[in-house]
């Protein structure tokens, strides 16, 4: 229902955690303790932390896989791994880092921070949010079950056909991977839809579209991108599974199938995915860096437009991954041109960050060091990527270690360095404790030096002709020293990440108490206690600028802090719904209670996908798949069973 009137109440007086209003909201929003609460919670903060912890666990697993590979490649003619073991290891490493770490870690930060940044109490669809996490976890376990059984993916994360077809790869390896990716795509799709609705409809009153934090723009943009990209790769993997198990011939050349169809479908997804795993990290830098520079981001509008333009252009460059496949040169020229053009919006963001540092008064913290080094990593990764946009250069560089170096500068240099900066920045908000700056400096410099020592020489290794995906090499090709240096750098990087975990575990017990706003940040998440209460905001803030906590300093807003007054919603679990563009109060949204349904539906889907895999060994697998479908349907029925009205009139908003 439309909101016609609402009363304002003093935010500072009503939002303290020991006020009567806070105690009432605590009782309404608190998750049930114990095992029941663990499986039923829909609190976005708990789900966000679970995403972060799970993604870091996959990062550790993928990193250990990388270290084993680097030992194998440290010297010529090593025999630590057999060729088949190496195939599985580099395939699982790639899909772990790209699909199970890179986006989920960003989803974790966005899950935790979105409602806080937007002045809301939860995501638009809390149960769907919990469902997206459980499916992510289940799909990761499903994929790694294949590795534990000795049937891990063994055709690379790109999974090219015809090598992935049953005639050449008869084991269940590719079936695990294909079905696991379809499973994971469900999580990505529902999570993206949730972010879009949350950003458009649950903002604080006054937070118009031109006042959104940049991090929100990054996640919102890639969420739209996911809705267009994920169906492509899900279709590609489903067609592959049908070729392998049902006898279809979509990719089989002996029956007029088209192997290049796989590459088109896959790279239509996988190149936009590059921006999916970097744009939210860029948004984290764009929001965190100005806080330490003590000034707003230079060129806010230009950075927002460049973010959107990068995602849009990202859908027009997939063919540069296929320059060496024999496609017509006219097509290559168009995609080469678009691959060069996409550097322009990225350069806009780089210049904005540099100008912000140059015109600000930087406070050098560990978070600032990560954010600043992110700019250097972004530049190196971008430039090496532009080199492959040239068709003649790509003919020489494709399938060499130069491309391996490039993708690691994108995945680790851009994604991980942005994530680590964000972790140091928002850890106080999540835990109420500060990370140690002394350990943080050691963590940063060892990670920074180890990363560049590990991956910068790979550019030379590739230029000297070392191909990708080889498990060993003879001693007389000039690659020995470079590979040894790379291995040393990889172990140094791993030690830097270990120091990060030491810092986290130490600070959780002994870290300095943070307070609500230890960095003097300008955005709404710093207006609530650290860690935030279950309801986030006792009083929904009303904002009047992009920097609501800096208004008096910057001369913005209406003369008083825009978060000084707000809306009181305490008739059950409620949050405000606002209009899309101007964020005018529009409806009071009733938030659902905790529920078993997201976990139950995920369990049913897990049984179904497991049944499809069991068809490789037993005909009873189809029965298990049918049982999983029935369980999923029952879970959805319980989930959607009506409980209450979804909106209430504005009389529930009162002083």
pLDDT band of residue 298 (cuts 50, 70, 90) is very high
Closest to 271 measured CA to CA, from 228, 234, 320, 223: 320
Instruction: With a cut of 90, say whether residue 296 has pLDDT above it.
Output: yes
Q: How far apart are CA 581 and CA 572, in angstroms?
A: 27
pLDDT tens column, 446-485 = 999 999 999 999 999 999 999 999 999 999 899 999 999 9
Specify whether the CB–CB gap between 483 and 461 falls below 8 A: yes
pLDDT tens column, 133-153 = 999 999 999 999 999 898 999
What single-letter DSSP state applies at residue 78? -
In the chain, where are the structural domains located? 37-510, 597-640
Would you put residue 43 in left (φ > 0), alpha (ψ -120 to 50) or beta?
beta
pLDDT tens column, 55-66 = 999 999 999 999
Closest to 448 measured CA to CA, from 510, 519, 394, 370: 370
Specify whether the CB–CB gap between 565 and 10 falls below 8 A: yes
Of 385 and 428, the structure prediction assigns the larger pLDDT to 428
Q: Which residues contact 74 (CB under 8 A, 6 or more apart)?
A: 483, 484, 487
Residue 11 has what pLDDT?
A: 42
DSSP 433-451: BPPPHHHHHHHHHHHHHHH
pLDDT average, residue stretch 485-501: 97
pLDDT band of residue 20 (cuts 50, 70, 90) is confident
Q: How far apart are CA 410 and CA 581, in angstroms?
A: 33
For 270-274, 565-569, 573-577, which range has the lowest pLDDT when averaged over its residues?
Answer: 565-569
Domain 37-510, CATH among 1.20.210.10, 3.20.20.120, 1.20.1630.10, 3.30.300.30: 1.20.210.10
Which of 18-27, 252-261, 356-365 is predicted most confidently?
A: 356-365
Residue 648 has what pLDDT?
A: 43
CA atoms within 13 A on the CB side of 638: 15
Instruction: With a cut of 50, say whether residue 650 has pLDDT above it.
Output: no
Residue 230 has what pLDDT?
A: 96
Question: pTM score, two decimals?
Answer: 0.93
Closest to 135 measured CA to CA, from 601, 602, 596: 602
Of 37 and 566, the structure prediction assigns the larger pLDDT to 37
Q: How far apart are CA 420 and CA 381, in angstroms?
A: 18
pLDDT average, residue stretch 185-202: 96
The residue length of the chain stands at: 655
Residue 5 has what pLDDT?
A: 40
Q: Where are the beta strands (DSSP E) in 426-552?
A: 539-541
């Amino acid at each position: 229902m439309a909101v016609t009137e609402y009363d304002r109440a003093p935010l500072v007086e009503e939002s303290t955690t020991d006020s009567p209003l806070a105690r009432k909201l605590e009782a309404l929003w608190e998750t049930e303790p114990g095992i029941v609460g663990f499986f039923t919670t829909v609190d976005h903060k708990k789900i966000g932390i679970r995403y972060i912890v799970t993604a870091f666990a996959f990062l550790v697993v993928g990193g250990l896989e990388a270290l084993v590979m680097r030992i194998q490649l440290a010297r010529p003619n090593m025999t630590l791994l057999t060729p088949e073991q190496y195939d599985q290891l580099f395939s699982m490493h790639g899909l772990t880092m790209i699909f199970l770490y890179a986006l989920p870690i960003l989803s974790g930060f966005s899950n935790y921070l979105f409602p806080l940044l937007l002045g809301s109490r939860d995501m638009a669809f809390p149960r769907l949010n919990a469902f997206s996490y459980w499916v992510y976890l289940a799909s990761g376990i499903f994929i790694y079950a294949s590795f534990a059984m000795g049937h891990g993916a063994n055709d690379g994360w790109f999974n090219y056909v015809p090598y992935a077809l049953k005639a050449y790869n008869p084991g269940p390896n590719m079936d695990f991977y294909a079905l696991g990716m379809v499973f994971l795509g469900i999580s990505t799709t529902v999570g993206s839809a949730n972010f879009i609705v949350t950003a458009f409809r649950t903002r604080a009153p006054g937070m118009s579209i031109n006042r959104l934090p940049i991090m929100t723009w990054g996640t919102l943009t890639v969420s739209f991108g996911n809705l267009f990209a994920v169906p492509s790769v899900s279709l590609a993997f489903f067609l592959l599974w049908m070729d392998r198990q049902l006898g279809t011939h979509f990719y089989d050349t002996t029956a007029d199938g088209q192997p290049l169809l796989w590459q088109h479908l896959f790279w239509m997804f996988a190149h936009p995915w590059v921006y999916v795993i970097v744009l939210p990290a860029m948004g984290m830098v764009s929001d965190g860096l100005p806080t330490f520079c003590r000034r707003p981001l230079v060129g806010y509008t230009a950075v927002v437009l460049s973010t959107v333009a990068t995602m849009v252009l990202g859908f027009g460059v997939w063919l540069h991954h296929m320059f060496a496949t024999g496609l017509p040169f006219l097509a290559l020229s168009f995609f080469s041109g678009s691959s060069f053009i996409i550097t322009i919006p990225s350069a806009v963001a780089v210049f904005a960050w540099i100008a912000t540092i140059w015109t600000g008064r930087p406070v050098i913290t560990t978070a600032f060091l990560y954010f600043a080094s992110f700019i250097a990593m972004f530049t190196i990764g971008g430039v090496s990527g532009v080199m492959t946009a040239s068709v003649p250069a790509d003919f020489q560089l494709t399938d060499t270690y130069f491309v391996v170096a490039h993708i690691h500068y994108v995945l680790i240099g851009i994604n991980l360095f942005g994530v680590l900066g964000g972790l140091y920045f928002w850890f106080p908000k999540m835990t109420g404790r500060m990370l140690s700056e002394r350990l943080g400096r050691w963590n940063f410099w060892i990670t920074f030096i180890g990363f560049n020592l590990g991956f910068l020489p790979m550019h030379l290794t590739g230029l000297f002709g070392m191909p990708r995906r080889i498990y060993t090499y003879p001693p007389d090709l000039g690659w020995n020293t470079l590979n040894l240096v790379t291995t040393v750098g990889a172990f140094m990087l791993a030690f830097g990440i270990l120091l990060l975990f030491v810092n986290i575990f130490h600070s959780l017990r002994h870290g300095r108490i943070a307070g609500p706003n230890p960095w003097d940040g300008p955005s709404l998440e710093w207006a609530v206690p650290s860690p935030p209460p279950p309801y986030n905001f006792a009083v929904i803030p009303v904002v009047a600028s992009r920097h609501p906590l800096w208004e008096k300093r910057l001369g913005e807003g209406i003369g008083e802090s825009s978060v000084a007054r707000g809306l009181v919603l305490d008739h059950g679990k409620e949050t405000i719904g606002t209009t899309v563009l101007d964020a005018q109060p529009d409806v009071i949204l009733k938030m659902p209670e905790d529920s078993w349904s997201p976990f139950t539906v995920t369990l049913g889907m897990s049984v179904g996908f497991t049944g499809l895999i069991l068809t490789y060994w037993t005909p009873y697998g189809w029965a298990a798949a049918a049982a999983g479908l029935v369980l999923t349907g029952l879970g959805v029925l319980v989930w959607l069973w009506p409980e209450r009205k979804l909106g209430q009139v504005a009389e529930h908003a009162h002083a």
